[in-house]
Structure 1
């Protein structure tokens, strides 16, 4: 393997590790924190879901700015700043005493750090570094993060049982501080951007971010991705609680949740393999069929609630959290170009905010009102099917 190729895959691996450690905690380990925080602060799951939803709002709103900074200045500085901010937020979370303080620590500080340090900037780095195998590069990046997240969920659950949720958050924040030297050492500085393995200069025929907003293809992708993000967000936050409500112990529930995250690994690798080989014109149809099938699988629980269909929901969530994002990012790079990829992805993440913010909140309050997640899961299935049908109208010429 040549030095340039090793450098490319080294960057891919590094981004996967960082995302798994940081974003994995925010997106998946929070499911293990839901009940302990609710009990400690003497509030309902709906209120905790509000904090999580507001955090997604903050992340979405700041994502376009993160993308623009990454496009102009490179990923190193914004990632370092994000990691430090996220660490401060987690340590602050260990000291919250009421809902307002929870919103400040989680919804504002921690979520701002996650958006800056673990999402758009790292995706742009992979896209710029892997001009020929973007699909597989993204798939490997997300697979590494998924493997770490698989380990994180039961580890966090065990830490909560051993130390309590407050000390768990403080410990994780401290570990995040210790990882800050990684991007400082391995990521290119703005002065070394030309040394990135792969072309980083804008192509003359690539559209800018503003012109992208005038293209119907962008909005069709945004609608479908918003549906997928809403369902993934709503289910992932409440999945451990759903399983424990049906008689599973916290440890087993966390283990099954970890298995769901692990399922995203082969799914993402397969998606990356296909994305590099399927013509861009056919990717929308593949995505459309995938979302519809996922929606039907998730809807099975609403039709016949039980342990078996709960496992079907878990498997469908693993697929929903794995394959679509790889295919979407490759499609966006093909349709809209590389030079403004960060800004385009940032805008897509911002558009996802209403759904990904409201989904866990509404599911939490629906449970508080009815004592069941059946209605919420039925709604999630309908949303996902609708998103797939919308995407079927996209023509990627």
Structure 2
């Protein structure tokens, strides 16, 4: 039984990893290299060109409780299948939008807002639940593996020449095809068996929504991790344009996103292990420090090797935010309440994740450069680091299990 269980666990983790990678990689890895082509093709400003991802993040947050309900009622397989299908349909719609000329911008925003946003609500959330349920009592390393954003690293380099040679439509159609290939894998996803030792079952009653909202730990998660997530989304959205503004070519600027994603692959695993060593709160505080120092260095240089070294730090930390939040929420609120806590967390941090990326684009247009945008990201990251470090000290330990549920 133990050998079968180990093999099944690994198979489930691999399926979650692949589904998460395609859906998240297509949204966050590919979006940065499409900002300038979208702006040029549809004749819109930088703020509007980056607004699509903001809409996707908004729907991702709003749709998280819906994803939690589907998981609770129908299981992880249905939730992940639904998310993959919706996300794939979104890129099919995006492939049609450039064929309409400037009028197609509305279709671009629709595609990111609904099918892609809902896919993002279902798949990363469900993949994290998959790892948490199959890898108890220590889900950190599995969460780190499932959350590794390999395609976030590969798509900028692979997609830039595709867009240059074949155009936006062909690139979006290729992303839709990747989703189609996922369907057989998603069909093989299952739930852990009740009564098997070490798998994700929790006898603690799930907490009521009112109880979750009353706990200070929940609002520390929302304000702190929500800010770190929005800083990461803003960075991925604007990093190519930031690099071009600093004098890099389009290809070299796309490399910054690639190296950010590449570092995220290792960083996701490292953060999962750090959560067990330092505690989740201090791990998140460390991510805040690395992010602030990274953007401070980016603001001070235009040398490509130095910028590459810096984005390695930013990427390594940023990919670990969501796994660390899952570990922290599971420890504090209990496994039975985890899907509900993460669903509520996703809605509560919408003011952070929805507002910051497009506001950064508007701030860039008003100020005529990215210096004030980078300054804002630096200040926010330092503030979050202080919040999580103070919280870990106030709790008397690196935040692990708080009051019993």
Alignment of 1:87-102 (within 5 A): 87-96=88-97, 97=100, 98=103, 99-102=105-108
The Cα shift of 1:204 comes to: 2.9
CA contact (8 A) 2:298 2:310 kept: yes
Partners of 1:350 and 1:178 in 2: how far apart? 30
2:214 aligns with 214
Partners of 2:196 and 2:349 in 1: how far apart? 30
2:344 aligns with 347
CA contact (8 A) 2:29 2:151 kept: no
- SS across alignment from 2:317: helix
The Cα shift of 1:200 comes to: 4.1
- SS across alignment from 1:124: helix
2:137 aligns with 132
Alignment of 1:251-290 (within 5 A): 251-278=251-278, 282-290=279-287
**Measured at CA, do residues 63 and 42 of structure 1 come closer, stay the same or move farther in structure 2, by a change above 3 Å?**
same
Ranges in structure 1 where 5+ consecutive residues have no aligned partner: none
- SS across alignment from 1:60: helix
Partners of 1:93 and 1:290 in 2: how far apart? 34
The Cα shift of 1:196 comes to: 8.1
Per-residue CA deviations over 1:273-309 (Å, capped at 9, x if unaligned) read: 232344xxx432342243134213323344x343366
2:147 equivalent to 1:150: no
- What CA RMSD, in Å, does the superposition of the two structures yield over aligned residues? 2.2
CA contact (8 A) 1:209 1:340 kept: no
The Cα shift of 1:193 comes to: 5.6
Ranges in structure 2 where 5+ consecutive residues have no aligned partner: none
1:367 aligns with 364
2:302 equivalent to 1:306: yes
Per-residue CA deviations over 1:172-213 (Å, capped at 9, x if unaligned) read: 1133123212111x2127xx8649885444413553444222
1:180 aligns with 183
CA contact (8 A) 1:130 1:197 kept: no
Partners of 2:287 and 2:80 in 1: how far apart? 32
2:238 equivalent to 1:241: no
The answer to which of 228-237 and 194-203 deviates more is 194-203
The answer to which of 61-70 and 29-38 deviates more is 61-70
Partners of 1:204 and 1:133 in 2: how far apart? 17
Structure 2 length normalisation: TM-score? 0.89
Partners of 1:178 and 1:107 in 2: how far apart? 23
Partners of 1:205 and 1:52 in 2: how far apart? 36
CA contact (8 A) 2:28 2:152 kept: no
2:322 equivalent to 1:325: yes
CA contact (8 A) 2:21 2:150 kept: yes
**Measured at CA, do residues 208 and 133 of structure 1 come closer, stay the same or move farther in structure 2, by a change above 3 Å?**
same
Per-residue CA deviations over 1:45-90 (Å, capped at 9, x if unaligned) read: 1112222211211111011221232133211112111111111111
Partners of 1:74 and 1:197 in 2: how far apart? 20
CA contact (8 A) 1:67 1:344 kept: no
1:111 aligns with 117
Per-residue CA deviations over 1:238-294 (Å, capped at 9, x if unaligned) read: 10111122232222222232111111222222222232344xxx4323422431342
2:162 equivalent to 1:162: no
1:356 aligns with 353
Please point out which of 282, 293, 308 is paired with 1:296: 293
**Measured at CA, do residues 250 and 306 of structure 1 come closer, stay the same or move farther in structure 2, by a change above 3 Å?**
closer
1:250 aligns with 250
2:237 equivalent to 1:227: no
The Cα shift of 1:34 comes to: 0.5
**Measured at CA, do residues 293 and 182 of structure 1 come closer, stay the same or move farther in structure 2, by a change above 3 Å?**
closer
Partners of 1:127 and 1:216 in 2: how far apart? 23
The Cα shift of 1:384 comes to: 1.0
- SS across alignment from 1:340: helix
CA contact (8 A) 1:4 1:197 kept: no
Moved over 6 A (4+): none
**Measured at CA, do residues 196 and 188 of structure 1 come closer, stay the same or move farther in structure 2, by a change above 3 Å?**
farther
CA contact (8 A) 1:71 1:340 kept: no
